[in-house]
Each structure stands twice: as structure tokens, then as C-alpha cells.
Amino acid sequence: MTVQHGKVYVSVRFDFRLLNKGEEGGGRLGVISTPHGEVNTPAFMPVGTYGAVKTLSPEDLKTIGAEIILSNTYHLFLRPGHEMIRDMGGLHGFMGWDGPILTDSGGFQVYSLGGFRKVKDDGVLFRSHLDGGESHFLDPEKAIEIQDALGSDIITCLDECVPYPSEYEDAEKAVERTRLWAERSRDSFNEGGRKVRFGIVQGGVFKDLREKSIKGLLEINFDGYALGGFSVGEDRDVRENLIKHTLSYIPKASPRYLMGMGMPDDIIEAVKDGVDLFDCVLPTRNARNGMLFTSSGKIVIKNARYTKDALPVDEECGCYTCRKFTRAYLRHLYTTGEVLGLRLNTIHNLYYYLNLMKDIRKALSERRFNEFREEFYKKRKMRLKGGEAVV
């Protein structure tokens, strides 16, 4: 316990324990310890952009089995502002979530949302996607300061993401900058004593740049390593090879986080390759669009075929939505624009993802992950072709 500026901080050391050998083709089973509790890995983090996982309360999240959530540095910086959240007791107190929180760096949103942006070696100048007019400056120290004010359990370093396709030279420059920023992030002061920081690997679709990027970060030495800049348009096989290649450089003792991905099969493949942490807006966003995940594939709830369908979304699912409501009712809520439908769909989709992770962990602990993976594709009438699942 340390006391600074009259405030009391409990410095609980971040810890990652690997529970299996993490052998090739078997995936890794582990536990991350944070000041706000433990996270069983491989884990999926529901996305709470503005300090709320869209449509859900903290109790909903607990009920469906969320152990950790992700929140967005960029968005909270703009609204309501990190200083305000700090004054309100941090993000945990503000949103009423007492479990672990990982915050992203803001780099991806500056890249994907900002209209005007100017990336220089000292940081990035951008205009808010909200008003378009006001300019903001984000540099590595600022990104840490924001996340620290939020009280994040796992802080990520500011990175530069490049579009797909990009010239080699541009991707190389972004890797160099991301490394430079990672160093500054590592050195920057933060109030709560030693906080967990993850470095972010960039490098576009260039194998040697990905290698250069992870090696640079390993030299700085982070608590964990995030793989950024994926799922921006590149081919799936290219991506999977780059992920595998990058992971091969990371020591087994370090947690690996694949940012912003993906579909259930993307997750299964990445687990196979040794990823421990995931986040993605797909389950929540698709829920709001009426696209629901099931054990036999996805369904689009607004389709007329569900008008009188008295079955639950997924007969194998144990979520509140499936235990209580029919497809017909969910379709009705969707077509009448009832807000309740958004929540019930979100509960289902997130439960599906979190339950998938539970099944994955169970399979890993019983050393039958490969069978589990084959069974998964079989049920969805997908087949494995090389490393890739094909419908």
C-alpha cells in the first residue's frame, strides 16, 4: 500500500499464471490477477465504449459471466472527460462495475474515427469525430494519464495504426513511432504506483515489420503484449500467419491480447495459436442489428420465418433471453423498435461469447481443445481447410 497526495492506493501486483504448458495446437489456459479480481483466460472482454456495455447494467454483465470489460480511452477522453471520471471515483465507481477493466490506447479510434489527424513523432493532433471542429492532442504521456485517471486495471500504450493497404515505408514509420511512444509510455509517471501496461504490436501486413515491432516492445519489457492493426481489411490467411509469427516471439509467461477481434471462429483459431485476451464489438453491435449467434450458426431475428417461431434463439443456450423468450417475441420487439429487444439480444450474444470462452477453457483444461475445435466447426457445417474454417 502506498500513500500519495493524501490518497491511498493499494498496489496489487499484476500477475499472469499459465495453467497448462500452452503447447502448439493446444492453446493456453491461464489466470490474470488484477486489483479488481481475477480473469480466467482465454477471456473475452465485452466492449463498454462510453463506460457502459451498450444496453447492459453491471449486474447484467456479472450474470452472463463477464470477468473483465474493455473501455475506450478515446471516447471517454472526449465524453465526459477523464478528469471528470477521476473526480467521480474512477471508471469503476462511475459505471458501477467492480471487476477488472482494460482500456485501449485511443490509437485505433484516432485512426478509424477521426476525420482530420496529423501524426507526428511527438504525438497525434486530431479533430473530434463528435464536433469535427475542436482539435485535441494525444501523446503517449497523455494516453497514460487518461487511463490512469480512469483507474484502468490494464493500460495500453499509444500506438499508430496504419490503413490497409499501406506502403511498406508508412507501416515501417508507424512501427518506429509506436516503439518510440512505447518507451515514453513505459517511463511516464502514473499516480497509482506501478500499473499494468501492455505494449501494442503494429507492422501492417509485413512480416518483418511485425517481427521488428514485437522485438522492440520486448526490449522495453511490458506486462503483456497486444496485437493491434488487424481486421482492417487484410485477408484472413495473411492475418493468421502474421499473428502466429508475432506470437512466436513472445515469452510464454506474458499474456497476449488480440485487439478488436473477432467472429467465434476467429477466436478459436487465435486461441489455438496462443492468444489469451480478446475484445470485439461484434456480439454487442450485431445484437442491436438483430444478428444472433447460436451453436449452429447465426440467425437474423427480423426474418419473417421467425414470426411464429416458439423456440428460443438457441435451444442449447442457458442465457436469460433463451430461457425466457421465443424467437417470435424477439422478432416482434425488433420490428416494433422496442428497446428491450436490444438488451435481450445483447444478453444472448454476449452470453454466447462468454460461454464459448468457458467451453474453450474447459476443453483446454481437459486437453481436448482440438476435438472441441473440430466439433465446433462440424456443428456449424463448416469444415477446416488448412488452418481456415470454410462454410
DSSP 65-83: T---EEE-HHHHHHTT-HH
**309 catalytic residue (yes or no):** no
Site for a copy of itself contains 332 (CB under 8 A): yes
Q: Which of 11, 15, 25, 84 binds a copy of itself (CB under 8 A)?
A: 84
Give SS3 for 360: helix
**60 catalytic residue (yes or no):** no
Residue 137 Cβ, how far from a copy of itself at the closest point, in Å? 22
Q: How many residues of this chain bind a copy of itself (CB under 8 A)?
A: 37
Amino acid at 175: V
35 phi/psi in degrees, rounded to 5:
-60, -20
Given 104, 223, 266, 314, which residue is catalytic?
104
Site for a copy of itself contains 283 (CB under 8 A): no
Site for a copy of itself contains 80 (CB under 8 A): yes
Site for a copy of itself contains 56 (CB under 8 A): yes
Contact set for a copy of itself, span 125-154 (CB under 8 A):
none
Contact region with a copy of itself (CB under 8 A), list: 153-161, 228-236, 250-258, 326-334 = 326-334
Contact region with a copy of itself (CB under 8 A), list: 17-25, 204-212, 324-332, 366-374 = 324-332
Site for a copy of itself contains 51 (CB under 8 A): yes
Binding string, 236-275, against a copy of itself, x = CB under 8 A? ----------------------------------------
Site for a copy of itself contains 113 (CB under 8 A): no
Of 240, 272, 253, give the one whose Cα is nearest residue 363: 272
218 phi/psi in degrees, rounded to 5:
-65, -35
Residue 267 Cβ, how far from a copy of itself at the closest point, in Å? 25
- Grid cell at residue 134: 475542436
Asked if residue 262 has a cis previous peptide bond (ω within 30° of 0), the answer is yes
Given 60, 273, 279, 314, which residue is catalytic?
279
Q: Which of 55, 152, 166, 355 binds a copy of itself (CB under 8 A)?
A: 55
* Residue 44 β-bridge partners: 278
Residue 266 Cβ, how far from a copy of itself at the closest point, in Å? 26
What ranges make up the beta strands (E) of 144-290? 154-156, 196-201, 224-227, 256-258, 277-279
Contact region with a copy of itself (CB under 8 A), list: 157-165, 271-279, 293-301, 333-341 = 333-341
Which residues, in sequence order, are CB contacts of 84 under 8 Å at separation 6+? none
C-beta closer to a copy of itself: residue 22 or 80: 80
> Measured between alpha carbons, how far is 199 from 216 in angstroms, rounded to an integer?
10
Amino acid at 237: D
Residue 276 Cβ, how far from a copy of itself at the closest point, in Å? 29
- Grid cell at residue 363: 476443453
CB-CB neighbours of 235 under 10 Å: 10
Site for a copy of itself contains 278 (CB under 8 A): no
Site for a copy of itself contains 310 (CB under 8 A): yes
DSSP 259-275: TTB--HHHHHHHHHHT-
Site for a copy of itself contains 50 (CB under 8 A): yes
Going by their DSSP bridges, the two strands 69-71 and 43-45 should be labelled as: unpaired
Angle at 165 between CA 164 and CA 168, to 5 degrees: 115
193 sits in the region (left: phi over 0; alpha: psi -120 to 50; else beta) called left
Residue 342 Cβ, how far from a copy of itself at the closest point, in Å? 6
Of 323, 269, 270, give the one whose Cα is nearest residue 64: 323
Please report, as ranges, the residues that interact with a copy of itself according to CB under 8 A.
Answer: 50-52, 54-58, 79-80, 84, 87-89, 94-96, 307-308, 310, 320, 324-326, 328-329, 332-333, 335-336, 338-344
Query: Which active-site residues does the annotation give?
Result: 104, 279
